[in-house]
Amino acid sequence: MKRVLFCALLVTLFVGWIYLLGTQSERESRAIEQILVESAAKTTAKLKADLEKLYGHPCMVGVTMQAYTLLKPGMSEIDARNIIGGEGVEQSSAGSIVTKCWQDKGRAIVLTFQDGKLVGKSQVGF
């Protein structure tokens, strides 16, 4: 079930990106991209809810674009860790600012926290 939902999400995103490559104006392309991002977030939320029902406990999304999409500025470090899974590896620390990295299969999500709240994010390899 998890793989089916994940595959459906990938197909939806792929078709959407192909559509974006057409002759759309920049404004139309941005609107379509926003719809795709919102759709992916809703699909990810549904996937997480379905997995929680199936297994009876919250499930981690991992180092994926879905997890990256779920990470929002201002969320706590604990919530971010619960989405990605694991503690991450501390890359730097200066006062109340900490940067951590999560890696898996050539992909990485790098998050910056200030006073325990997410203030920056980047991704590599997606």
Enumerate the β-bridge partners of residue 94. 97
Q: What is the pTM of this model?
A: 0.55
User: In the block, which residue shows the tokens 């939902």?
Assistant: 5
SS3 label, residue 102? strand
Output phi, psi for 115, to 5 deg.
Answer: 55, 40
Q: Which fold has domain 65-124?
A: Beta-lactamase Inhibitory Protein; Chain:B, domain 1 (3.30.1450)
Least confident of 9-13, 34-38, 113-117, 121-125: 9-13
Backbone torsion region of residue 27, taken as left when φ is above 0, otherwise alpha when ψ lies between -120 and 50, otherwise beta: alpha
Q: Which residues of 25-61 are buried (b: 16+ CB within 10 A; e: fewer)?
A: eeeeeeebeeebeeebeebbeebbeebeeeeeeebeb
pLDDT of residue 117: 97
pLDDT of residue 116: 95
First and final C-alpha spacing in the chain: 23
> pLDDT tens digit string along 49-98?
765 666 555 556 689 888 898 899 999 998 888 888 888 999 999 999 99
